[in-house]
């Protein structure tokens, strides 16, 4: 089975100031762990190209793209929301992060890769059609999904999001798009403080209570996600892979363990093996405790590529 790993050096040049949790070390921690544990030995490695503005424009308003481009500072930082800032490398990093998902879709649909992991930042799932927010600038997964649909001929694509925060940007972009089913779990009443009531019939949002553990995840997946995915019958699955529901990550109060990330990934992979030729593209979203992030991402990628 062909598996690919996509990243880009620009993912480590974008940073939002001293002490910001969404930091360059996140992708480095994952890359180091995957290298050290031999996982990268069995994956073909690629550098992410820049997405074109046309490709990003399938998920975002062109006016927003041009405004963001114009805001990019020549030095220092410029704030785009209270938690989110640009440095001189941010716009380029965001283009490459979105480009990773475009490339991933092409590797799967044109070059017979089955599983792709994109270790890129900035993350994407809080970026709505017309604005950056919550550490996100472009909705990377949404750009990849729209590329698969509009350019590569697919008719139905599913997005799975297990980040601890609700993927409000993906919901904003895909609500009402009948070609896309989004299934997700997230901690209720946590940033961005919505999602309990889905914005459309193509969204399966499963809010989880604070301090719930992997048992609540397992129930959500078995009772909600899998039936919704089966009735939608996607041709390919994208994963917004956030690792901030981990019990060691103090961004949330969920209590997941390393092994829960392996479990949920095995469920996703088993579904795609049965329903859509095993096609899965996964991309990094959140995860802020570097140790828990690296371990959980390793288990996620191992399960993704069938290495466990
Ligand atoms: Zn998150």
Q: Does 182 score more than 90 pLDDT?
A: yes
Q: What share of the chain is helix, strand, coil (3-state, %, to 5)?
A: 40, 20, 40
The tokens describing 257, both together, are 């363990």
Q: Does 285 score more than 80 pLDDT?
A: yes
CA of 244 to the centre of ligand 1 (A): 6
pLDDT digits (tens, 9 = 90+) for 51-79: 999 999 999 999 999 999 999 999 999 99
Rounded (10°) angle between helices 290-304 and 258-275: 30
Question: What is the rounded distance in angstroms from the CA atom of residue 79 to the CA atom of residue 75?
Answer: 13
CA of 153 to the centre of ligand 1 (A): 31
Classify the phi-psi angles of 233: left when phi > 0, otherwise alpha if psi is within -120 to 50, otherwise beta.
left
Residues annotated as catalytic are: 126
25, 290 Cβ separation under 8 angstroms: yes
pLDDT value for 1:
86
108 to each of 2, 59, 224, 293, 307, how far by Cα in Å?
9, 20, 27, 26, 19
63, 50 Cβ separation under 8 angstroms: no
Question: What is the rounded distance in angstroms from the CA atom of residue 30 to the CA atom of residue 295?
Answer: 8
Residues present in the chain in total: 308
Q: Please give the average per-residue pLDDT across 284-290, as a whole number.
A: 98
CA of 241 to the centre of ligand 1 (A): 9
Q: Does 145 score more than 90 pLDDT?
A: yes
CA of 52 to the centre of ligand 1 (A): 26
Identify the CA nearest to 253 among candidates 123, 192, 165.
165
CA of 63 to the centre of ligand 1 (A): 26
Q: Does 308 score more than 90 pLDDT?
A: no
For residue 284, the cross-strand partners are 241
Per-residue confidence at 212, pLDDT binned at 50, 70, 90?
very high
CA of 150 to the centre of ligand 1 (A): 28
């Amino acid at each position: 089975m062909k598996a690919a790993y996509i990243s880009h050096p620009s993912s480590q040049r974008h940073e939002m100031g001293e002490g910001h949790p969404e930091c360059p070390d996140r992708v480095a921690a994952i890359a180091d762990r995957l290298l050290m544990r031999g996982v990268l030995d069995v994956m073909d490695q690629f550098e992410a190209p820049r997405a074109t503005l046309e490709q990003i424009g399938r998920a975002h308003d062109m006016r927003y793209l041009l405004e963001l481009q114009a805001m990019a500072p020549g030095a220092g930082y410029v704030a785009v929301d209270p938690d989110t800032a640009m440095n001189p490398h941010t716009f380029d990093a965001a283009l490459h992060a979105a480009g990773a998902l475009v490339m991933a879709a092409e590797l799967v649909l044109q070059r017979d890769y089955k599983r792709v992991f994109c270790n890129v930042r900035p993350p994407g799932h809080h970026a709505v059609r017309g604005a950056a927010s919550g550490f996100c600038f472009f909705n990377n997964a949404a750009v990849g999904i729209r590329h698969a649909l509009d350019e590569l001929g697919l008719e139905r694509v599913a997005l799975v999001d297990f980040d601890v925060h609700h993927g409000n940007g993906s919901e904003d972009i895909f609500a009402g798009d009948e070609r896309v089913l989004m299934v997700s779990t997230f901690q209720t009443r946590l940033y961005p403080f919505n999602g309990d009531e889905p914005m459309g019939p193509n969204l399966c949002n499963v809010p989880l209570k604070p301090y719930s553990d992997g048992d609540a995840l397992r129930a959500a997946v078995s009772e909600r996600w899998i039936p919704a995915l089966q009735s939608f019958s996607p041709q390919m699955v994208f994963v917004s892979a956030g690792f901030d529901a981990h019990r060691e990550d103090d961004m949330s109060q969920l209590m997941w363990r390393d092994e829960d990330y392996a479990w949920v990934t095995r469920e996703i992979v088993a579904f795609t093996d049965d329903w859509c030729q095993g096609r899965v593209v996964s991309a990094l979203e959140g995860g802020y405790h570097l140790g828990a992030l690296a371990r959980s991402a390793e288990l996620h990628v191992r399960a993704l590529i069938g290495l466990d």
